[in-house]
């Protein structure tokens, strides 16, 4: 180190953030560090010309008159703004953003020399409060939306600051100190630094002067951010700048679209990382009808080739996003979408469907004047969407947000298809057939209850179509489901097609690439599953990132993701968190953006609710919807099915009018290894009748009787099965049956087993077949709750036995010396174990309260519930 030449040693010094310790190593290093040239060029090299003077003033002990001269003659930037802040800070005349000693440690004689040089450069320097160049610049930013006659700072004033007084923020770097809780405790950065590019976006004519002062694109946070030291990505910074450039000008502004386009080109020349992203372009397109100047500027950039993407492709992707979002029904949004489609027509089937839905939903809007078929035809001709086919009408009615069809049907009667006599339009037979096809598909779209209700009133045959489709296509048996023992991932991902909770998971697949291009398939009772469904593997992705199901190109993702947000909304979003000196302001701009992105209608009616009202609580159709709701864990639908009776009257004391819970529901959940919903346990506790499956309560004269060929296994239940019909408490204490030992009975010949018939256990299979061939009858006085406990207890034994067998197989196949195999019980077994304990406790309380005849079996000695056994044994011992 002692033999290094001065040039090499200076390079080492310039790379050190704190070279002080190195100067204490030897006298040679110390003498080298005293050279004014070395000190001056350390600041220039390490911090750059723009920040060199600021950091030199912060090292006042090593700053001398000679060092100042070398800094200024070597290219260090000195702005009048820096001098003004230094004066305020040195003489404590104004509290500023700098919280350290900074220039106060500079010797007075050196600081006076610094002021002398500044005065020779800029003349008289304003020193009053609020007279510094930074305050003038901030006022220019605040007044950017004011009319010209109301502005106190014009762009010429700011031009003079940059050109004559070399204005530029002087502290770009952030000093961050983190406490133990990782929260920001100190930072010092010129607050004008993140706001400086905003002036260039407002007035791009300032850009050449800023570049001459050493300005470079530094990707910090946008303005109005409360903690301006938090860094954002380049894309976020870039989008912020261009949003301000495309912002809708005021009515009194003379800004032209050519000016905006030229400013964008000039800004893009400054840095290759600066370009208009797809995100900002989509936001500008969302204001095509209100921000005409910005939209025209965007089209000019596309025409001149200064966009890195095709604007037509962007608009096509943007339109497809509205196929499954509620905002498609908004009138202003619909006008914008039609305007974009008119400027950039597309042959994409999804885009065509979006525009058709917009036109017919607006035609059926009760707040708008009624449009005749001729008026709609003229509008469609203008957009190039004629002719409209029956397939188009079918797809329009399938859209989740179409709840009225009057305008479409009136148009179809005159303009769609050809009648048998050769005249134009659809006949009533064709319309009824369209209603039936739409109803058959709408069964799987959970939020289409309103439309189905209207279709049923217009064409009552829809009821039979729905009944046939539900019973033939959507019935689920235990063997149809994946088993948790063999396919854990399949069980986790499995979802039933009906009774979906669209408020949590959306409406699911509605349109596919195939369904938008294929003709409508005829719905027939004997149709197989695959003939009715229009869902294919190549489904259309309806999320905001990508629309056509193909893997997203990496270059497209680098150009930015598109959303449904408007440009004004995103600019106001940046302003909702103002700088520290301003309080938070809340903004409200028209339609809520969050509600517009929801994937279900504003006031939806679930298909399951409508089906129950139409078919009744104890019908096979409603039973299928109930089964799907149990599998999908649809809390809102289970609440409606189990907590309310038929009609609109609330009925919480009786379960006769509720949709029954059956043992089959628990067997399905056991197959999937899922936790039963709370409402199932609650319904059992309050006296739900015990049924093995839906065939036990569906009568033969029911019009929607199931067409399944399974044998009808019925459990006969007496009338006194609910708590309200239990026998009253005896008046005489001698009639009490408490303390009597109940007779035990063997469950082998009476209680069925719930193991799978194809189980490897031969004894279990024989018991199951024997029980399936018999009709079970409960003993007189045995309640439904006791039956539930009895059968659920056997189901728990079966599932526990499966778990033990699987564990033994894994232990047998494990290598010698391997760690002990540990397998967690699935969610169903865990839930059944705990809730079965609660049911037993509830049954015991009822027995004490109502003084049952002691004929029921004592279920307390269940071998799979050790905790319950120990508690009951201890209780008997103490008695």
pLDDT in tens, 362-383: 998 888 888 889 999 999 999 9
Within 10 angstroms of residue 95's Cβ, the number of other Cβ atoms is: 9
Checking 330-339 for CB contacts under 8 A at 24+ apart, the result is: 330/591, 330/596, 331/362, 331/365, 331/367, 331/368, 332/289, 332/590, 332/591, 333/591, 333/596, 334/358, 334/359, 334/361, 334/362, 335/289, 336/285, 336/286, 336/287, 336/288, 336/289, 338/383, 339/288, 339/289
Note the pLDDT of residue 118.
93
Q: Is the pLDDT of residue 723 over 50?
A: no
Residue 652, Cβ density class (10 Å: 0-12 exposed, 13-18 middle, ≥19 buried): exposed
What integer is the mean pLDDT of 347-357? Answer: 93
- Across the range 162-170, mean pLDDT stands at 89
**Residue 576 is assigned to a structural domain of this protein:** no
CA–CA dist 757, 96 (Å, integer): 82
Please tell me the distance from the alpha carbon of residue 832 to that of residue 800, in angstroms, as a whole number: 11
pLDDT over 70 for what percent of the chain?
70
Of residues 480, 476, 456, the one with CA closest to residue 466: 456
Q: Which of 105, 131, 157 is the endpoint of a domain?
A: 131
Among the listed residues 242, 255, 228, the one whose alpha carbon sits nearest the alpha carbon of residue 282: 242
- Asked if 534 and 512 touch (Cβ cutoff 8 Å), the reply is yes
Cis peptide before 230 (omega within 30 of 0): no
858 belongs to a structural domain: yes
Q: How far is CA 464 from CA 127, 470, 525, 617, 690, in A?
A: 87, 10, 10, 17, 29
pLDDT band at 720 (very low <50, low <70, confident <90, very high): very low
Q: What residues contact residue 666 under an 8 Å CB cut-off, 6+ apart?
A: 676, 680, 792, 795, 832
Question: CA 243, CA 332: separation in Å to the nearest integer?
Answer: 21
Question: Cα–Cα distance between 703 and 163 in angstroms, integer?
Answer: 88
Neighbouring residues of 335: CB distance < 8 A, sequence distance ≥ 6: 289
In 3D space, the residue among 688, 648, 636 whose CA is nearest the CA of residue 665 turns out to be 688
The string of pLDDT tens digits covering residues 783-799 is 889 899 999 999 999 99
Q: What is the rounded CA–CA span in Å between residue 10 and residue 41? A: 9
Dump pLDDT digits (tens) for 729-739: 333 333 333 33
> What share of the chain in percent tops pLDDT 90?
38
d(CA 51, CA 73): 15
Question: What count of residues does the chain have?
Answer: 879
CA distance 572 to 577: 9
**Distance from C-alpha of 439 to C-alpha of 433, rounded to nearest angstrom:** 10
CB 278 within 8 A of CB 560: yes
pLDDT tens-digit map of 418-434:
876 778 889 999 999 99
Q: Is the pLDDT of residue 850 over 80?
A: no
> Does residue 740 register a pLDDT over 80?
no
Ranking 14-18, 443-447, 868-872 by mean pLDDT, the lowest is: 868-872
Examine residue 368 and state whether it is found in any structural domain, yes or no: no
Q: How confident is the model at residue 240 (pLDDT cuts 50, 70, 90)?
A: confident
Question: What is the model's pLDDT at position 523?
Answer: 40
* Residue in 75, 77, 78, 53 with CA at minimum distance from that of residue 63: 53
Within-domain flag for 477: no
Tell me how far apart the alpha carbons of residues 849 and 866 are, in angstroms, rounded to a whole number. 26
Residue 735 gets the label, from left (phi > 0), alpha (psi -120 to 50) or beta, of: alpha
Listed range (62-76, 306-320, 344-358, 770-784) with the worst mean pLDDT: 770-784
| CA-closest candidate to residue 394, choices 507, 531, 518 | 518
Is the pLDDT confidence value at 548 over 80? no
Confidence of residue 32 (pLDDT cuts 50, 70, 90): low
Q: Does an H or E element contain 777, and which? A: strand 776-777
pLDDT at 528: 39
Mean pLDDT of 282-301: 94
Global pTM reads 0.71
Q: Is residue 72 part of a domain?
A: yes
Residue 42 CB partners (closer than 8 Å, separation 6+): 10, 13, 14, 19
Question: Which of 83-97, 154-168, 693-707 has the lowest average pLDDT?
Answer: 693-707
* Whether 333 contacts 327, CB under 8 Å: yes
CA distance 511 to 323: 9
Query: Is the C-alpha dihedral spanning 615, 620, 621, 627 positive or negative?
Result: positive
Which residues, including other chains, have CB under 8 Å from residue 648's CB and lie 6 or more apart? none
pLDDT of 656 strictly over 70: no
Write down the pLDDT at residue 612.
Answer: 93
Which of 754 and 679 is assigned the larger pLDDT?
Answer: 679
**Cβ-contact 287, 567 below 8 angstroms:** yes
**Which of 102, 131, 160 is a domain's end point?**
131
Q: Which residues pair with 186 in a beta bridge?
A: 177
End-to-end alpha-carbon separation of the chain, Å? 92
The rounded distance, in Å, linking the Cα atoms of 729 and 853 is: 11
pLDDT at residue 805 greater than cutoff 60: yes
- Angle at the Cα of 329 from the Cα atoms of 461 and 360, rounded to 5 degrees: 55
Contact criterion met (CB below 8 Å) for 41 and 6: no
So what's the pLDDT on residue 177?
Answer: 37
Instruction: For residue 222, tell me if it sits in a domain.
Output: no
Asked if the model's pLDDT at residue 551 lies above 50, the reply is no
The SS3 call for residue 177 is strand
Question: 476 or 93: whose pLDDT is higher?
Answer: 476
The per-residue b/e assignment along 600-627, b for 16 or more CB within 10 angstroms, e otherwise, is bbeebbbbbbbbbbbbbbbbbbbbbbbb
Residue 689, class by beta-carbon neighbours within 10 Å (0-12 exposed, 13-18 middle, 19+ buried)? Answer: buried
Residue 660 has pLDDT above 90, yes or no: yes
Question: Is 817 a residue whose pLDDT tops 80?
Answer: no
CA distances from 465 to 349, 408, 523, 582, 620 (A): 28, 22, 8, 63, 14
The residue among 776, 684, 666, 679 whose CA lies nearest residue 722 is 684
**Using CA atoms, how far apart are residues 78 and 57, in angstroms rounded to an integer?**
12
**Within a domain: residue 76?**
yes
Cα atoms found within 13 Å of the Cα of residue 294, Cβ hemisphere only: 25
Q: What is the pLDDT of residues 509-540, one digit of tens each?
A: 676 665 666 554 444 444 333 333 333 333 34
Q: Residue 776: is it exposed, middle or buried by C-beta count within 10 angstroms (0-12/13-18/19+)?
A: middle
Cβ atoms 689, 657 nearer than 8 A: no
DSSP string computed for 652-682: -S--TTSPPP-HHHHHHHHHHT-PPPHHHHH
Q: Which residue has the higher pLDDT, 814 or 524?
A: 814
Among the ranges given (20-29, 244-253, 566-575, 798-807), the one the predictor scored with the smallest mean pLDDT: 20-29
Number of domains in the chain: 2
Confidence of residue 210 (pLDDT cuts 50, 70, 90): confident
Tell me which DSSP letter residue 322 carries: G
Q: How many CB atoms lie within 10 A of CB 360?
A: 26
Query: How many whole angstroms separate alpha carbon 292 and alpha carbon 249?
Result: 10
pLDDT surpassing 70 at residue 68: yes
pLDDT tens digit sequence for 381-428: 999 999 999 999 999 999 999 999 999 999 999 999 887 677 888 999
Task: Establish if 668 belongs to a structural domain.
Answer: no
The secondary structure of 476-499, three-state, reads CCHHHCCCCCCCHHHHHHCCCCCC
Task: Give the bridge partners for 512, in sequence order.
Answer: 539
Give the three-state DSSP class for 698: coil
Rounded distance between C-alpha atoms, residue 416 and residue 373, angstroms: 11
- Which residues neighbour 827 within 8 Å (Cβ) at sequence distance 6 or greater? 673, 674, 675
Say how far apart CA 842 and CA 385 lie, in whole Å.
Answer: 65
Domain's final residue, options 131, 165, 189: 131
Counting Cα atoms < 13 Å in the Cβ hemisphere of 406 gives 8
The boundaries of the domain holding residue 854 are 778-813+832-878
Using alpha carbons, list the distances in angstroms from residue 90 to 96, 101, 105, 754, 848.
11, 9, 9, 87, 87
SS3 state of residue 268: helix
Task: Single out the residue of 320, 331, 281 nearest to residue 301, CA to CA.
Answer: 281
Radius of gyration of the chain (CA): 39
Rounded CA separation 716/713 (Å): 10
């Amino acid at each position: 180190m002692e033999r290094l030449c001065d040039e090499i040693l200076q390079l080492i010094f310039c790379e050190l953030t704190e070279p002080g310790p190195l100067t204490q190593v030897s006298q040679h290093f110390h003498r080298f560090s005293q050279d004014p040239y070395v000190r001056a060029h350390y600041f220039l090299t390490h911090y750059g010309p723009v920040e060199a003077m600021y950091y030199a003033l912060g090292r006042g002990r090593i700053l001398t008159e000679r060092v100042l001269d070398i800094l200024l003659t070597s290219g260090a930037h000195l702005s009048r703004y820096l001098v003004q802040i230094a004066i305020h800070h040195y003489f404590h005349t104004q509290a500023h953003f700098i919280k350290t000693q900074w220039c106060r440690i500079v010797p007075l004689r050196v600081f006076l020399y610094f002021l002398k040089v500044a005065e020779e450069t800029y003349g008289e320097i304003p020193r009053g409060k609020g007279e510094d160049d930074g305050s003038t610049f901030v006022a220019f930013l605040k007044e950017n939306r004011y009319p010209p006659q109301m502005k106190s700072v014009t762009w010429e004033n700011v031009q003079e600051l940059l050109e004559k007084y070399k204005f530029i923020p002087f502290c770009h770097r952030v000093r961050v100190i983190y406490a133990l809780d990782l929260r920001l405790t100190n930072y010092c950065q010129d607050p004008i630094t993140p706001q400086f590019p905003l002036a260039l976006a407002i007035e791009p004519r300032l850009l050449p002067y800023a570049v001459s002062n050493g300005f470079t694109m530094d990707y910090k946070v946008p303005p109005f951010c409360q903690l301006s030291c938090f860094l954002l990505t380049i894309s976020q910074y870039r989008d912020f700048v261009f949003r301000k450039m495309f912002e809708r000008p005021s009515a009194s502004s003379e800004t032209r679209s050519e000016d905006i386009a030229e400013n964008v080109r000039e800004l893009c020349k400054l840095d290759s990382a600066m370009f208009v992203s797809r995100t900002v372009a989509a936001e500008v397109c969302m204001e095509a009808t209100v921000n005409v100047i910005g939209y025209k500027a965007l089209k000019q950039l596309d025409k001149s080739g200064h966009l890195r993407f095709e604007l037509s492709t962007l608009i096509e992707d943007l339109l497809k996003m509205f196929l499954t979002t509620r905002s498609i029904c908004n009138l202003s949004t619909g006008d914008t979408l039609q305007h974009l489609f008119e400027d950039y027509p597309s042959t994409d089937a999804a885009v065509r469907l979006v525009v058709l839905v917009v036109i017919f939903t607006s035609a059926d809007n009760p707040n708008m004047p009624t449009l005749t078929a001729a008026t709609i035809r003229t509008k469609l001709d203008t957009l190039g969407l004629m002719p409209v086919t029956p397939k188009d009408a079918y797809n329009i009615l399938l859209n989740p947000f179409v709840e009225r069809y009057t305008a479409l049907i009136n148009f179809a009667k005159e303009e769609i298809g050809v009648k048998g006599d050769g005249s134009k339009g659809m006949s009533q037979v064709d319309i009824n057939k369209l209603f039936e096809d739409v109803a058959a598909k709408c069964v799987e779209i959970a939020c289409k209850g309103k439309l189905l209700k209207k279709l049923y009133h217009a064409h009552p045959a829809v009821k039979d179509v729905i009944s046939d489709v539900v019973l033939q296509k959507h019935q689920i048996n235990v063997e149809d489901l994946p088993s948790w023992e063999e396919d854990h991932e399949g069980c986790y991902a499995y979802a039933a097609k009906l009774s979906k909770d669209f408020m949590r998971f959306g409406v699911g697949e509605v349109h596919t690439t195939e369904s938008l291009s294929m003709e409508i398939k005829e719905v027939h009772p004997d149709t197989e599953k695959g003939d009715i469904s229009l869902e294919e593997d190549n489904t259309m992705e309806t999320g905001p990132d990508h629309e056509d199901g193909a893997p997203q190109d990496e270059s497209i993702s680098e150009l930015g993701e598109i959303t449904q947000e408007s440009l004004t909304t995103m600019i106001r979003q940046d302003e909702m968190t103002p700088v520290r000196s301003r309080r938070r302001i809340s903004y409200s701009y028209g339609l809520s953006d969050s509600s517009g992105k929801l994937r279900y209608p504003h006031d939806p009616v679930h298909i399951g609710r409508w089906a129950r009202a139409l078919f009744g609580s104890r019908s096979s159709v409603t039973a299928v919807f109930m089964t799907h709701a149990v599998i999908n864990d649809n809390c809102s639908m289970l609440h409606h099915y189990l907590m309310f009776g038929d009609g609109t009257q609330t009925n919480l004391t009786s379960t006769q009018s509720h949709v029954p819970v059956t043992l089959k529901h628990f067997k399905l959940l056991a197959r999937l290894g899922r936790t039963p919903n709370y409402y199932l346990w609650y319904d059992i506790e309050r006296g739900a009748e015990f049924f093995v499956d839906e065939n036990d309560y569906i009568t033969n004269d029911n019009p929607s009787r199931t067409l399944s060929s399974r044998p009808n296994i019925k459990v006969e239940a007496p009338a006194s099965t609910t708590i309200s019909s239990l026998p009253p408490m005896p008046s005489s204490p001698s009639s009490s049956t408490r303390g009597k030992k109940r007779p035990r009975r063997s469950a082998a010949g009476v209680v069925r087993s719930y193991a799978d018939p194809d189980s490897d256990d031969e004894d279990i299979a024989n018991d199951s077949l024997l029980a399936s061939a018999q009709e079970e009858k409960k003993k007189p006085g045995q309640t439904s709750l006791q039956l539930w406990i009895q059968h659920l207890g056997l189901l728990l034994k079966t599932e526990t036995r499966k778990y033990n067998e699987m564990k033994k197989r894994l232990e047998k196949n494990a290598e010698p010396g391997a760690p002990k195999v540990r397998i967690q019980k699935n969610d169903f077994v865990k839930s059944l174990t705990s809730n079965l304990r609660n049911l037993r406790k509830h049954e015991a309380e009822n027995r004490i309260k109502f003084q049952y005849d002691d004929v029921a079996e004592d279920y307390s000695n269940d071998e799979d519930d050790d905790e319950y056994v120990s508690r009951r044994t201890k209780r008997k011992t103490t008695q």
